[in-house]
Homo-oligomer: A and B are copies of this chain.
């Protein structure tokens, strides 16, 4: 286990009706609010009205940025920064899924920066002051509600880049599983695949962390138990609650503390959603099993055996490669059982941009669990076709 510093001060208000704490949370950290949200689903489920009523009754001034897209765009960030400045907002409230929260984080970082917010994304060292960010989560997937990262897409340059800063970690997040009852089967499946991928990225690392890996296996088992259940019965509270709390712990930093390592599948997938704007979790489900097949070798065999026996319950007396291959197959089958597309072809992707995507992603994979060349990534894309 390597040295680390743990600091995850985000307060989580978890459960039914926890929005009752919103006014106190806002008053604790600010006074004038920019509300950031997406396509309007928060109006359908009533959260928007609840917030507006609470703010009006408590004389909390607010303005709003709506229409934040999945894979949030730099253009939305710029609009939000402008709105904050005009309104003199001192706190950002993101209401939605990971895209909305990510967008709110970079808005919060951009207000005090005198320049194009894209500068902060490509060079996080330029981030100095960050407005406090509060989130109300309506989709269990990215873990943005408890982590310090944001991913922003610049469609001018076809770049999709992750940026992290400790002050972008939300100061508080409200996690009410009932808000996810109306999440579609497709988005529930994609979210589950996203959560599982975060755990897998931390799990398959070259540094040792026995405790962290046992925790990771527990989180994976939770996804496996409840992903399909939430799809089959969207108002299954236990399923929604377990997925929601797991989404936060998959990526709040805990699993990777003491066992750092560069991520693999995210680098490979990011190019897909940067070029084709596909759903991030769906792209991960397509890529992950083929990445696993590529990196399975004698050096990594024991890790796959752990994964197979502890997560998938595969008989530990079998041959090691048999366990490993069964584990990869079970992972693939689970993604299929979620009902999302599992081949690139299904979402309209062909070989056209494989070369440039493989060039870009392999550049981030030289320090990965298993370092991958451009050729390796090309082959993974081809296998996923």
Contact = CB atoms under 8 A, between A and B. Distances in A.
A16 B1 contact: no
Given A4-B14, A14-B4, A226 B241 contact: no
B9 A4 contact: no
A12 B5 contact: yes
A210 interface: yes
Contacts of A15: 1-4, 258
Contacts of A82: none
Contacts of A213: 218
Q: Which of A2, A211, A245 is most buried by chain B, counting CB atoms within 10 A of its CB?
A: A211
Given A3-B14, A3-B16, A211 B242 contact: yes
A5 to B, nearest CB: 6
Contacts of A218: 211, 213-218
A329 B7 CA distance: 39
Task: Tell me the number of copies of this protein.
Answer: 2
Interface residues of A, number: 41
A33 to B, nearest CB: 21
A221 interface: yes
Contacts of A222: 210-211, 214
18 contacts: A1-B177, A1-B242, A3-B17, A5-B13, A7-B12, A8-B8, A9-B9, A210-B238, A211-B218, A211-B219, A211-B222, A211-B245, A214-B217, A214-B221, A214-B222, A215-B219, A218-B218, A245-B258
A11 interface: yes
Which of A3, A9, A16, A214 lies at the interface centre, i.e. has the most chain B CB atoms within 10 A of its CB? A214
The residue in A210, A213, A219 that gathers the most chain B C-beta atoms within 10 A of its C-beta is A210
Contacts of A16: 3
A370 B53 CA distance: 44
A249 B218 CA distance: 14
For the complex of A and B, 8 pairs with smallest distance between CB atoms:
A3-B15, A214-B218, A6-B12, A9-B9, A1-B241, A211-B222, A218-B218, A7-B11
Contact of A6 (B4, B11, B242): B11
B14 A258 contact: yes
Interface string A108-133: 00000000000000000000000000
A208 interface: yes
A14 B1 CA distance: 10
A69 interface: no
A245 to B, nearest CB: 6
A237 B213 CA distance: 17
A60 interface: no
A245 B3 CA distance: 11
A245 B14 contact: no
Nearest to A9: B9
B1 A238 contact: yes
Contacts of A12: 4-7
A203 to B, nearest CB: 12
A225 interface: yes
Contacts of A217: 214, 218
Contacts of A18: 3
